[in-house]
Amino acid sequence: MRDGRPRALITGIDGQDGSYLAELLVGRGYDVWGTVRADPDAPRPNLAAVRDRLTVLTCDLRDRAALPAVIDHCRPRELYNFAASTFVPGSWDDPVTTVEVNATAVTAMLEAIRRERLDTRVYQASSSEVFGIPGETPQNEATPLRPVNPYGIAKAHAQLSAGAYREHQGLHVSVGSRRAARRAS
């Protein structure tokens, strides 16, 4: 904590979900840190309302040591992982990078928290893509994971890693997914 304020780290802070969460947490008095892929000083329209009240760091999730180094430096009470390769069809163009960013980086993140013995609460963003073509609607915690593309496979890996670290290492890890907005017909 800085100045007695709770500290949160948001990976992918300049994306839609990360920027909305940053605004909410800043409004609640948090010390908010975030990661971006490139120059942390570049203009980020999504963060314009709160940019002067954030600490933004560069973090390439393909570098397995990058996120653990940020976690060690920041030592957050809460960590929200929104960083990801998000273009599902593009995951077939570069499945290795998709897995590095969406799966391997999550395991490195969880391992860093375990290794440093941090009391960090983690939120891992998932996706309905983990279900592939589900046999039931709506899906729930009991719906089998049957991903059918590299993006879904990587998100399923992250979700399963979160569960394993929660059950076997005692980490406070939650997994969630927002429902995609439906287009009006």
Q: What is the mean pLDDT of the chain?
A: 92
Q: In angstroms, rounded to a whole number, what is the distance separating the alpha carbons of residues 150 and 94?
A: 9
Q: Is the pLDDT of residue 185 over 50?
A: no
pTM tops 0.85, yes or no? yes
Read off the pLDDT of residues 8-64 as tens digits, 9 standing for 90 and up.
Answer: 999 999 999 999 999 999 999 999 999 999 999 999 999 999 999 999 999 999 898
Q: What is the DSSP letter of 119?
A: -
Q: What is the mean pLDDT of residues 89-106?
A: 95
Beta bridge partners of residue 9, listed in sequence order: 33, 79
Identify the structural domains of the chain with CATH numbers, from first to last: 7-176 (3.40.50.720)
Nearest to 120 by CA among 10, 3, 46: 10
pLDDT computed for residue 182 by the predictor: 41
Please enumerate in sequence order all residues whose Cβ is within 8 A of that of 32, keeping only pairs 6 or more positions apart, or say none.
Answer: 7, 8, 10, 13, 22, 25, 26, 50, 53, 54, 55
Tokens of 106: 């999550």
Read off the pLDDT of residues 58-94 as tens digits, 9 standing for 90 and up.
Answer: 999 989 899 999 999 999 999 999 999 988 988 999 9
